[in-house]
Amino acid sequence: MTTASDLRFFPSSDGDLAYLDTGSGDPVVLLHSGFVDHRLFEDQIPSLAAADHRVIAVDVRGHGWSANAGEPFRWADDLAGMLRHLDAGPAVLVGVSMGGAIASDTAVEYPELVRGLVLSGATTSDFQYSDEAALRFQAEFDRTLRAGDVEGWLAVFLQGAAGHFRRTDDLEPAMLDRLREMALHTIAKHTPDEPDRHVPMTDTWPRVPKIDVPVLTVNGALDSPSLIADAERFARTVRDGRSVLIEGTSHYPNLEKPGEFNAILLDFLRGL
């Protein structure tokens, strides 16, 4: 895995934001899910760079090696500032879970910086789970996080990677180890009583029809049914969208079946 010595830092107005910048060509920006960091994409970065793309893998504020928030912020604003600093727009934004919501929010707020979207396990930041299993998971996730129960929270977090229809021992131990290491690194940056300075974007769904760049949603077939349905709705709502399911995977198809995920991603990029 990469370390701090491999990273560069964007000096935002509220602390340094870390990113990996490798390869050359049309820029592809990778946005990780919550509580992990840019290393989520270690199976994608070499393939993208080899296909003549400049790959920018970001540590979102409060994650990985990026600064925590000292003042109210929006993740889309952070990303826009970084892309302008790097002269990297318009770029294809590839996001998993929380990172996908950041990508779609950026597309509606800063369309001039985006030339394509790939969303995995995500739609907009307005999305709310509606199926019972996902709601139970979310409640337990929030409870253990608020309580500062790191071990209990970590167990719930890893169960989320398996989805609601499998056990964690159905997943590769190496994958779970990667997620565990990243999650512990990020959670150590925070305390249960610190203020949440993130300002959510609102009313993003009504703006989705204005997204006029190509969009691909890629979801694990074992992920939450309400999330899959929302992703398919997203792909139908934008002007140029399509939706793909990867069988036998849940919330992290890029980790569970990286070869298949990479092939789908590279095929989308070749079509732009």
Q: What is the DSSP string of 117-162?
A: EEEES---TT----SHHHHHHHHHHHHHHHHT-HHHHHHHHHHHHH
Q: Report the CATH fold assignment for 4-270.
A: Rossmann fold (3.40.50)
Mean pLDDT of the chain: 93
Residue showing tokens 């701090």: 4
Q: What is the domain partition of the chain in residue ranges?
A: 4-270
Residues near 187 by Cβ (< 8 Å), separated by ≥ 6? Answer: 35, 150, 153, 154
Q: Read off the pLDDT of residues 46-60 as tens digits, 9 standing for 90 and up.
A: 999 999 999 999 999
What is the per-residue pLDDT for 172?
Answer: 86
pLDDT at 4: 64
CA pair distance 233, 95, nearest whole angstrom: 17
Distance from C-alpha of 78 to C-alpha of 85, rounded to nearest angstrom: 11
Q: What are phi and psi of 245, to 5 degrees?
A: -110, 140
Taking Cα atoms as reference points, which of 60, 73, 101 lies closest to residue 14? 73
**Directed axis angle between helix 173-187 and helix 150-162, to 10°?**
140
Alpha helices in the chain (DSSP H): 45-50, 75-86, 98-109, 132-147, 150-162, 173-187, 225-237, 253-256, 258-270
Reading the block at residue 232, the tokens are 């398919």
Query: 46, exposed or middle or buried, with CB in 10 Å at 0-12, 13-18, 19+?
Result: middle
pLDDT band with cut points at 50, 70 and 90 for residue 201: very high
Over residues 258-268, the mean pLDDT reads 98
Q: Is the peptide bond before 206 cis (omega within 30 degrees of 0)?
A: no
Average pLDDT of span 1-30: 91
What pLDDT band is residue 235 in, cutting at 50, 70 and 90?
A: very high
pLDDT of residue 165: 66
What is the C-alpha separation between 272 and 112, in angstroms, rounded?
16
pLDDT for 84 equals 97
- Report the distance separating Cα 68 and Cα 44, nearest Å: 26
Top pLDDT among 171 and 12 is at 12
Mean pLDDT of 17-22: 97
100-150, pLDDT tens digit by residue? 999 999 999 999 999 999 999 999 998 888 888 888 888 998 899 888 889
Are the beta carbons of 91 and 27 closer than 8 angstroms? Answer: yes
| pLDDT recorded at residue 193 | 87
pLDDT at 169 (0 to 100): 80
